[in-house]
Amino acid sequence: MSKVLLKVNNLKKYFPIRTGMFARVTGHVKAVDDVSFEVYEGETLGIVGESGCGKSTTGRTIMRLTEPTEGKIEFDGTDLTDLSNEDMRKIRREIQMVFQDPYASLNPRHTIEKILEEPLIVHGMGDGAERKKKVMEYLKIVGLSEYHAKRYPHQFSGGQRQRVGIARALMTNPKLIIADEPVSALDVSIQAQVLNLMKQLQEDLKLTYIFIAHDLGVVRHISDRVGVMYLGRMVELATSESLYDKPLHPYTQALLSAVPIPDPEFQGDQMLLTGDIPSPSNPPSGCTFHTRCPFATEECKQKAPNLREIKPGHSVACHLYNDQ
Ligand code: SF4
């Protein structure tokens, strides 16, 4: 087993809801509610769920782009929750993010060269000539050419812009990349190219990924393990093989039913997810999935299930497996 690079313990992120003239706090949106998981060096952990399930907030909280309400985040032996802003700024050299919309995250007035050089300047890495050399090297690494350096973001296609976004994340030689829906805005044909590039870079540069997506189909081929989130909680966490072969949580089963199955002979049950996702400011009691779950019982309405390992490498939070 590889070493644990990131350890997230009982992470919570509650956003206050303020109302009235005095902006009094009248409630909280529980975006992330007691989430724990580990990420091993060199692996890809996929985090999946519908929009509003807390997956992006989890990613941003690990980077402390948004401050956690409670919990501990340990990266490579350092407790990030204890770090000063200055120390956290330094450690961001080793944890980088790739965003869904590279157009929004790339300064439109800067050339690609300037965009890629910026993280090196921020972290005081190299002199002018060394930085320029590295920009050219990383343009090639992500499948672009040196002549692209003088161009501006609007002169690129969506797929090329995401390659720039990936190159920018790699400039500081990070160990961990948190990719938040990195292919969701791209055409399906381009998605495969970008996913293949990320896989190749992971091998070549020994990277560790957290790959956030709303679609289980997208993370399937890139993830070693997958965590499924629902209303701020991790409801299932398993190796990809085990999760796609035999999903245990009814929510995961429903999400997988929504993924088109390329095999016309497929005889498995299709389970459709009905109803809207409840508001995280007022989540249902007990198991928060009970309002949409076809197997819900009285116990489910009253008691929240804990995430438990049911078989090696496969954990689930569901009362259906209480006896196992
Ligand atoms: Fe459904 Fe109950 Fe399991 Fe929740 S605990 S997923 S409501 S069966």
Ligand 1 atom nearest residue 235's Cα: 6
124 belongs to a structural domain: no
- Give the atom of ligand 1 at the shortest distance from the alpha carbon of 250: 6
∠ at Cα 155 (151, 161), nearest 5°? Answer: 90
Assigned domain for 44 exists:
yes
Cross-strand partners of 40: 4
Using CB atoms within 10 A of its CB, is residue 217 exposed (0-12), middle (13-18) or buried (19+)? middle
Report the pLDDT value the prediction gives residue 257, as an integer from 0 to 100.
85
Q: How far is the CA of 98 from the centre of ligand 1 (A)?
A: 34
Residue 38 is classified by DSSP as: E
Please indicate, yes or no, if residue 31 is contained in any of the structural domains.
yes
Q: Report pTM.
A: 0.93
| Domain assignment present for 60 | yes
Determine the distance separating the centroid of ligand 1 and the alpha carbon of 305, expressed in angstroms: 8
In angstroms, rounded to a whole number, what is the distance separating the alpha carbons of residues 174 and 110? 23
| Mutational test site, ligand 1, from 230, 287, 302, max ligand atoms within 8 Å of CB | 287
Domain holding 229: CATH number? 3.40.50.300
Which residue bears the tokens 């972290």?
A: 123
Smallest CA-to-CA distance from 135 within 111, 155, 154 is with 111
Q: Along the 324 residues of the chain, how does pLDDT read in single tens digits?
A: 689 999 999 999 999 998 888 888 888 899 999 999 999 999 999 999 998 899 999 999 999 999 999 999 999 999 999 899 999 999 999 999 999 887 788 899 999 999 999 999 999 999 999 999 999 999 999 999 999 999 999 999 999 999 999 999 999 999 999 999 999 989 988 999 999 999 999 999 999 999 999 989 889 989 999 999 999 999 999 999 999 999 999 999 999 987 655 555 544 456 777 778 898 888 999 999 999 999 999 999 999 999 999 999 999 999 999 877
Q: What would the two tokens of residue 63 be?
A: 């980077």
Whether 159 is covered by a domain: the verdict is no
State the DSSP string of 256-295.
HHTSPPS-TT--PPP----SPPPPTTSPPSSSTTTTT-TT
Cα–Cα dist 211/178, whole Å: 6
148 within some domain: no
Is residue 146 domain-resident? no
Using the atom order of ligand 1, give the atom closest to the CA of residue 305.
5
Nearest 10 degrees: Cα torsion 101, 105, 106, 107: 140
Q: Which residues line ligand 1 (CB under 6 A)?
A: 249-250, 287, 289-290, 293, 295-296, 300, 305, 318-320
Could you tell me the distance, in angstroms and rounded to a whole number, from the CA of residue 300 to the centre of ligand 1?
6
Check residue 249 and give its pLDDT.
Answer: 96
What total of structural domains would you count in the chain? 1
Q: Roughly what angle, to the nearest 10 degrees, separates helices 128-141 and 158-170?
A: 130
Closest atom, ligand 1, to C-alpha of 287 = 4
Q: Is residue 137 a part of any domain in this protein?
A: no
Q: 229 C-alpha vs ligand 1 centroid, how far in Å?
A: 14
CA-nearest residue, atom 3 of ligand 1: 318
- What's the confidence (pLDDT) of residue 242? 96
Structural domain of 33: 4-90+207-321
